Structure 1
Amino acid sequence: MGNARELINMTRDEVEAAINEFPVAILPMGATEQHGHHLPLGVDIYLAEGVSRKLSEKTGALLLPTQPFGYSWVWRDIPGTVSLQQHHVEAVIKDVAHSVARYGIKMLVLVNGHDANNASMKYATRELADELDIPVIYLFYPNLNKTIEEICDSPTWHGMVHACEFETSLMLALKPELVDMSKAVREYPEKPRLYGRSSISLGDLSKSGVYGDATKATKEKGEKMLNYFVNEMEQILLEAYEEIKE
């Protein structure tokens, strides 16, 4: 395992050499939004970047700077939130893809840490298929539900992960200095019948900003899940790269 190839710390010559060796780039996709009283607003940034850095270390892919903003409409009234319109997130992805394709990148990998980015990644990738000759693949915690079932001790809130045991455990593994477990809580808000069918949003439901049981999080659980996700993503990345080599 080598060091991550972080583009922002490299010279133009080092970037060119890295592309000649392995022409794959990783774009971590984050968001800036509340994650309860025990976690920082940058959780989705730190998780996407942490996973992506390990993926770069294992594969030699070029690590692009993390996209710090996503579609965070549901938290828009909470101080610190920065939300982009969903089509703007798509536009950023497309502009990045067009940029890296110009100088030899043969595949772009999107590694997401924010669930609401998934739709933007999906539709940007479809449009790029008609615009560029390079493939774009998008990843968000492979086999998420199965992994949570096997490693976590608390259920999700209707399949969603936010400031819960899952995200808190990953933060304990990656950025423990930013986690205050003395403020971690358990909250499973009631789900209104109109949720998902109206403008009722997550920001209207949880008092703490937690959806699940953050008190059950541990560093050990985070490390297990982190290793699994990185290994799975590595296999997906390498399989996708083999297809374009053929």
Structure 2
Amino acid sequence: MPILKQCTMDFFEQERDRIQTVIVPCGSLEEHGPHLPLGTDTLHAEALAEAVAERYPVWSAPPLWYGLCRSSSGHPGTVGIKSTTLRALLMDVVEGFYRQGMRSVVVLSGHAGGTHMAALVDAGEELLERCPHLRMAVLSVLDLGKAAWAAIQETPKDSHAGEVETSLMLYLYPHWVQGTAEEAYPTFPAHILVRNKRAYWHSGVWGNPKAASKDKGKRLMEASIAALIELIEKLNAWEEPTHS
């Protein structure tokens, strides 16, 4: 099974000529309301990567556990890293896989914060310059779900610790879910940076956890697996134009 944390050196050497695509899950240690574990983002991305690796010839890498957490930085349990740290970490990891023969890399982030994703994309752009044979995709689980979850998700603005993430945790890690929480959304002022971020997002919930269910989590996961495999197939067939 091409889940790297389980593989031996001999197995990797035997298979790497056949499998030259790797998913690098990224996440965060971040509050997810009063009911979900701090590792929700990372657990989600890792579970999705491993599920795809069980069905399609792709390596699932161990996750990058820490991310850039701006809006939740004042909440208990959130431990973030700087954009420069995240960027450097991802570049080192991807370059390491490139040296090991990987030619397609999917950076899959369970944490979808804007500044976090910008750091990952920025690292990806430089990696394309450094690694001439590299094909790369960078996306969050929310990017993947925009189309994949349309027929399943009921809460229009659901984003964090709400319907989707609670459903997924009920399906993947039900023993770590502590009840539910009220529907809530942040109230940050447009364009104005604030110091006391928790004053504008007290519960840390962005959506409606009460619309969640284990069955919905299973359907969300299956839709995500299919959408990610479709993206990987497109990436592996990708050819850059030779002229503008």
Q: Structure 2-normalised TM-score? A: 0.88
Question: Which residue of the partner structure matches residue 138 of structure 1?
Answer: 138
Q: CA deviation at 1:148?
A: 4.9
The one-letter amino acid paired with 1:144 is: G
Partner of residue 184, structure 2? 187
Q: TM-score, normalised by structure 1?
A: 0.88
Structure 1 match to 2:152: 151
Q: Which of 52, 60, 66 is the matching residue for 1:55?
A: 52
Residue 230 of structure 2, aligned match among 227, 232, 235: 235
Aligned ranges for residues 1-246 of structure 1 at < 5 Å?
3=1, 5-116=2-113, 117-133=116-132, 134-141=134-141, 142=143, 144-156=145-157, 161-181=159-179, 183-189=180-186, 191-192=187-188, 194-199=189-194, 203-243=198-238
Runs of 4 or more consecutive aligned structure 1 residues displaced over 6 Å after TM superposition: none
User: Does the 8 A contact of 1:19 with 1:62 survive in 2?
Assistant: no
Residue 228 (structure 1) shift: 1.1
2:5–2:62 contact (8 Å) kept in structure 1: yes
Count of paired positions? 236
Distance 1:146 1:232, change over 3 A: closer
Q: Structure 2 vs 1, CA of residues 10 and 146 (structure 1 numbering), >3 Å: closer, same or farther? A: closer
Any conservation in 2 of the 1:111–1:138 contact (CA below 8 Å)? yes
User: Quick one: structure 1 residues 13 and 71, their matched pair in 2 at CA, closer, same or farther if it must change by over 3 Å?
Assistant: same
Alpha-carbon distance in structure 1 between the residues aligned to 2:138 and 2:196 = 25
Q: For 1:94 and 1:36, locate their aligned partners in 2 and report how far apart those are by CA, in whole Å.
A: 31
Find the aligned partners of 2:148 and 2:138 in 1 and give their Cα distance.
19
Task: Indicate the percent of aligned positions where both proteins have the same amino acid.
Answer: 27
Q: 1:187–1:243: structure 2 CA closer, same or farther, 3 Å change rule?
A: closer
Q: Is residue 38–residue 179 contact of structure 1 (8 Å, CA) maintained in 2?
A: yes
Helix, strand or coil for the counterpart of 2:238? helix
**Aligned-pair distance for 1:201?**
7.3
Query: What residue identity is the alignment partner of 2:140?
Result: F
What do the CA deviations read for 1:186-242 (whole angstroms, capped 9, x no partner)? Answer: 2234x35x3344236753322221112111101111111111111011011012112
Deviation at 1:119, TM superposition (A): 1.2
CA distance in 1, matches of 2:175, 2:17: 37
What are the Cα deviations for residues 116-174 of structure 1, in whole angstroms up to 9, with x where unaligned? 232122111111111112112113234534455532232316xxx11111111111121
- CA RMSD of superposed structures (Å): 2.1
Change (3 A) 1:215 1:98: same
What secondary structure, in the 3-state scheme, does the structure 2 residue paired with 1:73 have?
A: coil
Long gaps (5+) in structure 2: 240-244
2:223 alignment partner AA: Y
